[in-house]
């Protein structure tokens, strides 16, 4: 069994996504590990990052198609410097654990895999993207590959107002 380290969408954005695609996950995967990693070994690192990071804005505005025996589609964020920087910093902080190669910083293609057919994606999701989903990534979560729910969750610190 492996694990995924992902940033979670805020509740309102996750609801808009699941209103479109009821089974859609509310996480943007940052790193995937095929082997057992010691969750306790990465706890301090993830806690430190979550305490240092504020939520970041994310705009989900396009689709990606991944060819395979059964093609799957992803809802892709517009890649911002902050999003790519967070991914690089998370990777660097956990580099002692080998991750799946497609999640290395120079190969990572951020996206939320949609659990529906390509035809349904084109029929349901594409028309909805005339107005992109804009929200925030608000927590670092550790998930089993099943994406049922987080094993561990590390909320990002709230923005300080009035500073």
Burial 1-16 (b: 16+ CB within 10 A, else e): eebbbbbbbeeebbeb
Q: Return the residue matching tokens 């089993």.
A: 144
Q: Would you say residue 128 lies in a domain?
A: no
How is residue 12 written in tokens? 């309102």
Q: Return the residue matching tokens 């990693």.
A: 37
State pLDDT tens for residues 71-110. 688 999 999 999 999 999 999 999 998 899 999 999 999 9
Q: Would you say residue 84 lies in a domain?
A: yes
Q: Would you say residue 119 lies in a domain?
A: no
Question: What's the structural domain count of the chain?
Answer: 1
CB 79 within 8 A of CB 88: no
Q: Would you say residue 15 lies in a domain?
A: yes
Q: Would you say residue 126 lies in a domain?
A: no
State pLDDT tens for residues 101-123. 999 999 999 999 898 888 898 89
Band of pLDDT at residue 162, cut at 50, 70 and 90: very low
85 lies in which domain range?
3-59+80-111+133-155
Q: Would you say residue 116 lies in a domain?
A: no
């Amino acid at each position: 069994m492996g694990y995924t380290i992902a940033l979670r969408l805020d509740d309102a954005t996750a609801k808009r996504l699941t209103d479109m695609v009821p089974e859609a996950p509310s996480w943007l995967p940052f790193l995937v590990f095929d082997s057992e990693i010691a969750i306790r070994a990465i706890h301090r690192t993830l806690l430190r990052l979550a305490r240092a990071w504020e939520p970041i804005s994310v705009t989900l505005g396009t689709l990606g198609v991944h060819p395979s025996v059964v093609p799957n589609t992803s809802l892709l964020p517009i890649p911002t410097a902050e999003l790519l920087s967070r991914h690089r910093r998370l990777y660097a902080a956990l580099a002692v654990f080998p991750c799946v190669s497609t999640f290395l910083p120079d190969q990572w293609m951020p996206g939320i895999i949609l659990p529906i057919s390509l035809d349904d994606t084109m029929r349901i999701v594409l028309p909805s993207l005339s107005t992109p989903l804009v929200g925030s990534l608000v927590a670092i979560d550790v998930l089993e590959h099943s994406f049922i729910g987080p094993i561990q969750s590390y909320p990002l610190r709230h923005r300080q107002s009035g500073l």
